[in-house]
Chain A
Amino acid sequence: MTKSHIKVTINGKPVEALVEPRTLLIHFLREQQNLTGAHIGCDTGHCGACTVDMDDMSVKSCMTFAIQADGARITTIEGVANPDGTLSALQEGFRMMHGLQCGYCTPGMILRAHRLLQENPNPTEDEIRTGIAGNLCRCTGYVNIVRAIQYAAAKINGTPFQEAAE
């Protein structure tokens, strides 16, 4: 199959590659770029395990062809830690609030939450729940994911975070 030439910026690094027109962005990232953080959980665009950030939007990379990313800026889970390598507020929030179990949904969940907090730095619980409705988690029951995002929002905003009592 003929291949197309694309230029993408991934986690701040310019990348050039040849891709088949039908190659999905998730396969391009995972198999050609060895960025295996984003996962595949379904075939229908429902689970959000593959979520990455593309040109300041959350994108399900299983529903996007790699060639559609030509010229785009992409952030994956591998690119969200702080520049000094420490965990970002969201990554830390997920760990502190036990917002993950098997970890399979986590990269997509964190990328989605990342965009949510860009759009709405101080979301209510309902806004968080609606905001992550495109991302399924089979393990956590979401309560602690919501707390994790609240933790991160508080940390970013410099406001106090009250840990919910057990």
Chain B
Amino acid sequence: MNEQVKIDIDRAERTEKLQGMGCKRKRVEDVRFTQGKGSYVDDLKLPGMLFGDFVRSPHAHARIVSIDTSRAKALPGVVAVLTAADLKPLGLHYMPTLAGDVQAVLADEKVLFQNQEVAFVIAEDRYIASDATELVEVVYEALPCIVDPFKAMLPDAPILREDIKDKMVGAHGPRKHPNHIFEWQIGDKQATDDVFARADVTIKEMLVDHRTHPSPLETCQSVASFDKVKGELTLWGTFQAPHVIRTVVSLISGLPEHKIHVIAPDIGGGFGNKVGAYAGYVCSVVGSIVLGVPVKWVEDRMENLSTTSFARDYHMTTELAATKDGKILGMRVHVLADHGAFDACADPSKWPAGFMNICTGSYDIPVAHLVVDGVYTNKASGGVAYRCSFRVTEAVFAIERAIEVLAQKLGMDAAELRMKNFIRAEQFPYHSALGWEYDSGDYHMAMQKAMDAIGYKALRAEQAEKREAFKRGETRELMGIGISFFTEIVGAGPAKNCDILGIAMFDSAEIRIHPTGSVIARMGTKSQGQGHETTYAQIIATELGIPADDIMIEEGNTDTAPYGLGTYGSRSTPVAGAATAVAARKIKAKAQMIAAHMLEVHEGDLEWDIDRFRVKGLPEKFKTMKEIAWSAYNAPPPNLEPGLEAVNYYEPPNMTYPFGAYFCVMDIDVDTGVAKTRRFYALDDCGTRINPMIIEGQVHGGLTEAFACAMGQEIRYDDMGNVMGASFMDFFLPTAVETPKWETDFTVTPSPHHPIGAKGVGESPHVGGVPCFSNAVNDAYAFLGAGHIQMPHDAWRLWQVGERLGLHG
């Protein structure tokens, strides 16, 4: 074996041992999860712990005439019943929302949506608490309600928020009506209107991204434990953003922040549901402060689906203007956003409609104008980013449906129309008409790769044949080809435009190398299944040459972890992942000084080699990171402080812009409306790939949630404001049987501004998946003149489309 081969093998072995970036490292978390040893909030059992449960409103809009808690209080085992009257003197009957509004903790004088929290019963166990909720007698006087957001701003509409009815300037500017929350405008209206006036071809479509819910398998829950002697509160909960929760609790309760210990243990999925602050958290805290014992609150599924943070409910009038040969000239969008009873969206403060202005998508659209009007209705509040960055699923749905509508009007192939309008690789960094700077991408390459992989031409040929056969009556099946090419915007975000409650949206990592060369790293984010304990360790392993197995990642304890804004909007990798790399590099710089001292050479004479510093030209003279760690504590160079640790609070210079090309082939039985996904191919570009196994898993999961949203999942209300189907009996969550089989693929375009080039991936598949499914359905019916078919596309609704088109004979 020659020398070089030996060196190569040695280096490969050392790299392999690290289990660093790019390898399919098996997850650390799974050892406990597969043995039932995870520790989720409801697993917590504290001495003397009581259990809280809510009395909820049966009405969507009603005045509370009286509340009688005496029978409930008399039930053995009941310790307390809280109502707004108890919270009012403490100023706790309302709490601030992340969107600059306030939200009732317990309904004061009136209720504004069905299942709103009216009273909180605290009892010795969950059964007694539940019994007691039925003994609380509330007399209501029903009021007319608003369910349809288009009726919210009618002159004679009932005023929903009497608490703010005279406040005609809200957190985001003037309000046009007592039920209006905000109007948000961006883009050049005049230039856009001009383009539309002159364009050869324009399209206009009302695209509804209907109300749904993230519904992680674990609901929202908390345990509060107040120590009266120390004046300290410990709060365990399902928190995607534990530090923000600590700040909110401090602001609400008046307890100093250092006396609040917030702990987010293992979390059973989040998908946006667990970003906000909820009445249950507050009531468990108040209960514990008042009673001096721990109080647990656990949502049941009905409560979860009908109260804590719905998603979407965007009614988007979307217009495109183009030349007759298909060059898009402009985009105009008006959104009516149904926010429910309180504005409790979890968006960065300055973005009342999230990043909806990413709606020009992957296309080079010269001018655009976007207006979003938010309104109150008698529905649950929320509007969270369900497995996406803020309002990005909505934005991508708008452009990706609209471009198909345009293709049809132009009589052009939808893939070709996209190719024609893509931002070209050489245009990056690209400044979009609505104000973003896209970091990097090669859309044409990704699209071509995807089209080749799926065999796009052949599929269109097959579809053409099938359509003819259908017309001849030889088949009752419709074939749809769905395309979506999405650009996400994740990793919020730069301090100049992203904050939550005034706190800039940085994130953080603190890495400490122990004398023996093992590591603990603590993060400001919080995994809910993304595998952070595995992947952050891979970043550190590669950066510092320490095996990932020797690195422990800790998140979720606000006492020990550095302050961070949490995990949502695919921000963990872009922001905290960057912080991890930067902190590791600080350590490496110090390690280099120590190594130079140990080897008695100048720092500049050293070079990094996988897990060690070696003397340039003398590879046998080296010090491994492990050896350096020992020296850092025991024999540091003179004038250098001992120890080897670093912390970084990373404020990203820009967002990252993952993208992807998705294709779906669907067969729909016209007589039953049953749609079968024959193939689904997803090509994702999330920049540098940290753990391909985990990326693939994220893509599978996101696609499944996209499938659910597009094909049936919905939170629906009847005219009286009764929430329909807030249980797993009715709310569509696909099982292994319905879920399509996913094909995944990728390209790699690193983010130029991220220390390791990573962009984030957890949400892309959802964002890209929803329009892909909807486009497949729409494409199937397009040749029959169906027009735009609204989601969700369950069999009943598709059967109705067949009926409307007279296809059932």
Contacts and interface: CB of A to CB of B under 8 A. Distances in A.
Contacts of A100: 30, 33-34
B694 interface: yes
Contacts of A143: 700, 741-742
Interface in B205-227: 215-219
Contact of B266 (A49, A103, A141): A103
A23 B127 CA distance: 8
A153 to B, nearest CB: 15
Interface stretch (B113-121, B149-157, B462-470, B523-531): B523-531
Given A30-B43, A41-B217, A138-B701, A166 B34 contact: no
A104 B703 contact: no
B238 to A, nearest CB: 11
Nearest to B31: A95
Contacts of A130: 736-737
Contacts of A22: 127
A144 B692 CA distance: 13
A87 interface: yes
Contacts of A87: 31, 34-35
Given A47-B217, A98-B696, A142-B739, A81 B35 contact: yes
Contacts of B217: 39, 41, 47, 49, 102, 104-105, 136-139
B269 interface: yes
Contacts of B397: none
A145 interface: yes
B300 interface: yes
Given A102-B268, A103-B529, A144-B700, A95 B34 contact: yes
Interface in B524-581: 528-531
Contacts of B741: 143
A104 to B, nearest CB: 3
B783 interface: no
Interface string B703-723: 111000000000000000000
Contact of A41 (B301, B701, B705, B735): B301
Contact of B36 (A76, A92, A98, A137): A76
A91 B701 CA distance: 20
B36 A36 contact: yes
B697 interface: yes
Contacts of A132: 735-736
B34 A141 contact: no
A148 to B, nearest CB: 10
A106 B218 CA distance: 12
B33 A106 contact: yes
Contacts of B39: 36
A96 interface: yes
Given A95-B27, A98-B694, A44 B36 contact: no
Contacts of B529: 101-104, 139
Nearest to B34: A91
Contacts of A98: 26-27, 693-694, 696-697
B37 interface: yes
B571 to A, nearest CB: 18
B40 interface: yes
B38 interface: yes
Interface in B1-56: 26-27, 29-40, 42-43, 45
Contact of A166 (B27, B216, B696): B696
Interface in A1-33: 20, 22-23, 27, 30-31
Contacts of A27: 126
Nearest to A24: B127
A129 B741 CA distance: 11
B458 interface: no
B693 A103 contact: no
A35 interface: yes
A31 B45 contact: yes
B727 interface: yes
Contacts of B30: 94-95, 100, 103
A75 B696 CA distance: 32
A36 B43 contact: yes
Interface residues of B, number: 59
- Is chain A's binding surface mostly helix, strand, loop or mixed? loop
Given A44-B727, A101-B530, A129 B271 contact: no
B267 interface: yes
Contacts of A107: 36
Q: Which of A31, A42, A92 is packed against the most chain B CB atoms within 10 Å?
A: A42
Contacts of B266: 102-103
A130 B738 CA distance: 10
Given A22-B127, A98-B694, A144-B700, A37 B36 contact: yes
Contacts of B742: 141, 143
Given A36-B43, A46-B728, A143-B700, A78 B528 contact: no
B678 to A, nearest CB: 15
B701 A141 contact: yes
Contacts of A35: 36
A23 B216 CA distance: 25
B451 interface: no
Which residue, B29, B35, B37, B267, has most C-beta atoms of chain A within 10 A?
B35
Contacts of B701: 101, 138-141
Nearest to A91: B34
Contacts of A91: 34-35
B729 interface: yes
B234 interface: no
Contact of B267 (A46, A102, A144): A102
B271 to A, nearest CB: 7
Interface string B80-116: 0000000000000000000000000000000000000
Contacts of A42: 301, 727-728
Contacts of B692: 166
Contacts of B724: none
Given A47-B728, A98-B694, A40 B45 contact: no
Contact of B35 (A38, A78, A140): A78
B733 interface: yes
Contact of B269 (A23, A102, A134, A146): A102
B739 A141 contact: yes
B250 interface: no
25 contacts: A30-B42, A34-B45, A40-B42, A47-B728, A47-B733, A77-B35, A78-B36, A87-B31, A95-B26, A96-B26, A98-B694, A98-B696, A101-B697, A102-B266, A103-B38, A104-B38, A104-B218, A106-B33, A132-B735, A138-B705, A140-B697, A140-B704, A141-B701, A142-B704, A166-B744
Given A41-B218, A44-B729, 4 more contacts: A106-B34, A130-B736, A142-B735, A143-B742
Q: Sort A-B residue pairs by CB-CB distance and give the 5 closest, nearest first.
A: A37-B36, A102-B529, A103-B33, A104-B268, A141-B700
